[in-house]
Structure 1
Amino acid sequence: MTDTRWLDDSQQQAWRAFIRVHAELTVRIARQLQADSDLSLAEFEVLVNLSELPEPRIRVLELAKQLNWEKSRVSHQLGRMQKRGLITRAGCEEDRRGSFIELTDQGRAAIEGAAPGHVAVVRRLMFDALAPDQVRALTALCDQVLTNIETANCPKE
């Protein structure tokens, strides 16, 4: 058994600040999306991924990987979105168990309608508080942490 490497005061302060910023941004962005476009944050995330695809469709498992979601979460979310007419499912000829997800015209209209308000709230809450060099530093820090996460020998939960 190894000794615990506790966070020092500055690390603890940084960690708690990060957690609070993440939580506050998530809540406020979700509220804005719901109020302005009647989309949940999860729906918005799916629609963003679908709208940015070079091809008009994607396999469910590939979408789950892009979102970093469990397959069951993606399946339930896609079912709700299909009922709302935001996406359609199409069978996969190569793999009868798999399916493709496609963005509908209604889904494209929803993401195009939601994007301006989303960008405005992200800019107001985050980027208006930062100078360009701070934005570059934030990007570098996030990239460094993501690289560490991807190479760490920790199981994915």
Structure 2
Amino acid sequence: MPDINIYEALRESHEIQRALCRSLLNASPEGDERDEIFKTLRIELAAHAAAEERDFYSPMMLDDMGLDPSRHAMAEHHEIDEYVEDLASAEARGGSWLSKAKKLSDEVFHHLDEEEKKFFQISGRILNDAQKARLAEQYLQDYVRMKRVLSGE
């Protein structure tokens, strides 16, 4: 794997999530486009959250400075999960679907922005360069594996 740090690895998935949220909100209610984009987004969110919690938040929780921010971020993952389930139960062509998709998108954007602007800075004071590189490798392996598992491959 290339020599990247944990922040670069996480940002790659963050950009995928942002693009999928934008596509979801712009998708036509006709045909299967919404369903396909939502399925891809759902897998992306779940794989990212699982790998991030295991390979980034968990190590950060071992440091007092990282404990509360990690817990907050994991709580936001849970909120996103609830928005995903709410949207999954909505009729893709129904009237409430777009408002639920917007709520999900807003929460995803909020979480990613907060993580990149606050949590990355806190963790940057805790982790050294070698740890950042090792965590990136662990995260990427887990992320790829989780995407395969979640997509049924």
Shorter-chain TM band: 0.3 to 0.5
- Name the structure with the higher strand share: 1
Could you state the TM-score of these two structures normalised by the residue count of structure 2?
A: 0.36
Q: Answer 1 or 2: higher relative contact order, Cα 8 Å, separation at least 6.
A: 2
Could you state the TM-score of these two structures normalised by the residue count of structure 1?
A: 0.35
- Name the structure with the higher helix share: 2
Q: Of the two, which has the highest radius of gyration?
A: 1
